[in-house]
Amino acid sequence: MSSSPSKQTLTPRATSGKSLNIVLQALRANDLLQNRKYNEAKELCDHLINAKTWPLEKMSVRVLLLNVRGHALQMQGLLDPAIADYQQVRQIDPNNLLAIECLADIYKTVNKLDLAKECYDQIIAIDPEKSFLNYGKRGELLLRQNDSKESIADLEMALSLQPENASTLHNAAIAYLAQKNYEQALICCEKLLHLNPKSGVAFSQQAKAKIGLGKRVEAMDDLTRALEYNHDPDNATRRLRMLLCIENKEDETAVADCDMILKSKPNDRQVLFFKAIALGRLEKYSDAEETFELALKHSTTGAQKAEIYYNMSLRYTKSGDTAAALRYVDLAIQEDKNTVLARNNRAFILTHIGRAAEGLADIEKAVKSDQKSANTLSTRGCVYYHLNRLEEAKKDFDQALAWDPEIGEAHYFRGCILRKMGLTAEAAADLKRAEELNFKFPIYSTLGRPSFE
């Protein structure tokens, strides 16, 4: 809220006892406003503005009264009449900064952002050197209009005039994050934390910047600190930490975060889905299946249902129940025929139970849909290998390992191919790497067990 009118806005030059009395009454109205006696201030202004006896040529007095009454109305939430008073002031004095600032505040409050921006444009044009606060406000306004690029220009100007303004640093961090300028966002967050080492919002924003910079471990620490300082509007911080925990396979913490979010949003499909994944990795299969069923209940699209069925198929794939795994992966493909992951998994299962020819159609469709996936190419290489199409298999393994050298399956089967080709040294190197990566056949596989000799 803009500051209220002050006595310094008026320097009365009395020409008569009557006009002096009006000036003093106007200043008294201003005093009532300063003391938050808004209704009394408004009533006195009403009386003076509507009086027929006071000299209307005293426009400075009229401006003060309109500003005082406008502010009193504004503070009581009567925004339309307040706007009318401020507009009257602008008709008398088009560059009256107080009226324009108050109008900008009201327009922001009622979400008339274009009108608010026009006010800030005028304020800055009138007095650019003393407008650090208004540069900051206009920058915040542009941010609300999703114009982060233009917002940054204003916020940087505000910071050049007042480098340690916490509100401006906060908004600048948001704008930089929107522009994916994570280095500058991090600098703003570090400055905020220097000003307030217990700022939860700064830790939360700093975590986002670090995620953008690939510093996920540090980001996890920042999110934990943000939660310690109770910064978690709408569970946004906890949700972000939950996603990082899922990614890092910190499943106990992920489940705990999911439970906290579900207390306020018990039907959140995404949270139920990730909780089920974490439970499955913790080998709490019964709880995982129950949670997947809840997530499925709140899924509305075929793609969402396919994602859940695919993950349920993974749960049974890992436990060795191939019949259940195939049942769920079939359901996933029925819901979304373009699902790469489900087709990949079905081809993988079929190959390992001796039905590679059936798996070939699935993996060909998966590769066609996602030609840059190292895992999908590795699975096709495995299918080709078990169909004795060794040259094609080796080509897929070569490309998969060029994209991701950490795929144990690709090293193992390429090693087998190289051994068949008589390239014993190269084969030994691949087989050794597969062992280092802890490659193991699935427990249900009928293809035998890996040999690294």
3-class SS string, the chain: CCCCCCHHHCCCCCCCHHHHHHHHHHHHHHHHHHCCCHHHHHHHHHHHHHCCCCCCCCHHHHHHHHHHHHHHHHHCCCHHHHHHHHHHHHHHCCCCHHHHHHHHHHHHHCCCHHHHHHHHHHHHHHCHHHCHHHHHHHHHHHHHCCCHHHHHHHHHHHHHHCCCCHHHHHHHHHHHHHCCCHHHHHHHHHHHHHHCCCCHHHHHHHHHHHHHCCCHHHHHHHHHHHHHCCCCHHHHHHHHHHHHHHHHCCHHHHHHHHHHHHHHCCCCHHHHHHHHHHHHHCCCHHHHHHHHHHHHHCCCCHHHHHHHHHHHHHHHHHHCCHHHHHHHHHHHHHHCCCCHHHHHHHHHHHHHCCCHHHHHHHHHHHHHHCCCCHHHHHHHHHHHHHCCCHHHHHHHHHHHHHHCCCCHHHHHHHHHHHHHCCCHHHHHHHHHHHHHCCCCCCCCCCCCCCCCC
Superfamily for 336-453? Tetratricopeptide repeat domain (1.25.40.10)
The amino acid occupying position 36 is R
Q: Are 85 and 54 in contact (CB under 8 A)?
A: no
Choose among 215, 178, 221: nearest CA to 203: 221
pLDDT at 448: 57
Q: Which CATH class is domain 1-126?
A: mainly alpha
Q: Tens-of-pLDDT digits for all 453 residues of the chain?
A: 455 555 434 444 444 455 667 778 888 888 888 889 999 999 988 888 886 555 555 678 888 889 999 999 999 999 999 999 999 999 888 989 889 989 988 998 898 988 988 888 888 888 776 666 788 888 888 888 888 888 898 898 888 888 998 999 999 999 999 999 999 999 999 999 999 999 999 999 999 999 999 999 999 999 999 999 977 878 899 999 999 999 888 999 999 999 999 999 999 999 999 999 899 889 888 898 899 999 989 988 888 899 889 888 887 887 778 888 899 999 999 998 888 889 988 998 898 888 999 999 999 999 988 888 999 999 999 999 999 999 999 999 999 999 999 999 999 999 999 999 999 999 999 999 999 988 877 656 566 555 545
- Domain residue spans in the chain? 1-126, 336-453
Q: Which two tokens stand for residue 429?
A: 């190197």
pLDDT at 238: 94
pLDDT at 15: 45
Cα gap 32→39, rounded to integer Å: 9
How many Cα atoms occupy the beta-carbon half-sphere of 184 within 13 Å? 16
Is there a shared CATH topology between the 1-126 domain and the 336-453 domain? Answer: yes
pLDDT at 55: 55
pLDDT at 33: 87
pLDDT at 370: 84
Cα gap 396→390, rounded to integer Å: 10
Q: At what angle do helices 269-281 and 251-264 cross, to 10 degrees?
A: 150
pLDDT at 321: 83
Cβ neighbourhood burial of 129 (10 Å; 0-12, 13-18, 19+): exposed
Cα gap 283→397, rounded to integer Å: 31
How many Cα atoms occupy the beta-carbon half-sphere of 111 within 13 Å? 1
Which pTM does this prediction carry?
Answer: 0.66
